[in-house]
Amino acid sequence: MRSVGFALQGLQALWATQSNVRIHAVATLCVVAAGGYCQISRSDWLALVLAIALVWVAEALNTGIEWAVDLASPEHHPLAGKAKDVAAAGVLLASLAAVVVGLLVFVPYLL
């Protein structure tokens, strides 16, 4: 139970400090609402849930990496910058993949 408490504290820290997390939350709500409106299939829900989870996990890991790098290297260092850039690239890749999944799921319902 302590581990769950720590994880919930992490979610709270993400929400309180990361504006992109709030954007992800709005996008998540929009996708879930669209899925309900379009009455998408169970397999489409599976694809969407996995895509949403991938983006949220990537954002959480990116934030953790950024904070750890800031702690380890408070002054600017080229490798610290690269580490943070690569972590941010992970979020970008996950988000692009989620957009592709969203298009694959919703375009047939819209046509």
Q: Which residues form the catalytic set?
A: 59
Pair 22, 63: CB distance under 8 Å? no
Contacts (Cβ under 8 Å, ≥6 apart) of 87: 61, 62, 65, 66
Pair 59, 90: CB distance under 8 Å? no
Pair 90, 58: CB distance under 8 Å? yes
- Surface-to-core class of residue 27, CB atoms within 10 Å of its CB (0-12 exposed, 13-18 middle, 19+ buried): middle
CA distance 65 to 91: 12
